């Protein structure tokens, strides 16, 4: 089974994790994680758990995570879900700064392409 989280959901979970780290409490994060899954997904997860209790499973994951950093939360989620044969896929779990850097690189590439195109047109005119 594969469960996919879109960018909006990942960003919400990332912000909830940052709040949990800041507050030193992961109860709200636990609720947000449970809500991130559809009812059908939660039912399937519970079938695969020996305890059959999805919220408890999320709680165990958060205890294992230990509120280190946000990236390690996503890694812990992926690892623990893989243990019950569920692949979690996140659209993009990089911090926003990385996204901005990538966008800047894309702009630089486009400018380079345009300058190369301009050079080509000069050669063609000669």
According to the model, what pLDDT value does residue 46 have?
95
- Cα–Cα distance between 24 and 21 in angstroms, integer? 5
- Cα–Cα distance between 109 and 112 in angstroms, integer? 5
Instruction: Name the residue range of residue 103's domain.
Output: 95-126
34 and 65 within one domain: yes
Closest among 82, 50, 80 to 65, alpha carbons compared:
80
DSSP state of 50: S
- Cα–Cα distance between 29 and 16 in angstroms, integer? 5
According to the model, what pLDDT value does residue 100 have?
55
Q: Which helix (H) or strand (E) element contains residue 59?
A: helix 54-65
Per-residue pLDDT of the chain (126 residues), as tens digits, is: 999 999 999 999 999 999 999 998 889 999 999 999 999 999 999 999 988 899 999 999 999 998 888 999 999 999 999 999 999 999 875 655 555 555 555 555 556 556 555 555 555 555
Q: Which helix (H) or strand (E) element contains residue 47?
A: helix 39-48
According to the model, what pLDDT value does residue 51 have?
86
79 and 108 within one domain: no
According to the model, what pLDDT value does residue 25 have?
86
According to the model, what pLDDT value does residue 119 have?
54
14 and 48 within one domain: yes
Asked if 51 and 57 count as a contact pair (C-beta separation under 8 A), the reply is yes
Q: What is the pTM of this model?
A: 0.69
According to the model, what pLDDT value does residue 56 have?
95
Locate 90 and state its tokens: 């996140």
According to the model, what pLDDT value does residue 82 have?
96
116 and 57 within one domain: no
86 and 52 within one domain: yes
Asked if 77 and 61 count as a contact pair (C-beta separation under 8 A), the reply is yes
125 and 89 within one domain: no
How many domains, in total, are found in the chain?
2
- Cα–Cα distance between 10 and 16 in angstroms, integer? 10
Residue 73 contacts by C-beta under 8 Å, 6 or more apart in sequence?
17, 62, 65
57 and 26 within one domain: yes
10 and 68 within one domain: yes
């Amino acid at each position: 089974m594969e469960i996919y989280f879109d960018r909006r959901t990942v960003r919400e979970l990332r912000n909830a994790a940052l709040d949990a780290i800041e507050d030193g409490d992961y109860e709200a994060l636990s609720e947000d994680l449970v809500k991130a899954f559809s009812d059908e997904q939660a039912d399937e997860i519970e079938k695969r758990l020996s305890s059959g209790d999805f919220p408890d499973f999320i709680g165990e994951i958060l205890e294992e995570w230990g509120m280190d950093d946000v990236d390690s939360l996503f890694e812990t989620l992926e690892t623990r879900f893989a243990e019950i044969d569920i692949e979690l896929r996140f659209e993009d779990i990089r911090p926003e700064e990385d996204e901005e850097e990538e966008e800047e690189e894309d702009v630089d590439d486009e400018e380079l392409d345009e300058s190369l195109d301009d050079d080509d047109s000069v050669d063609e005119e000669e």
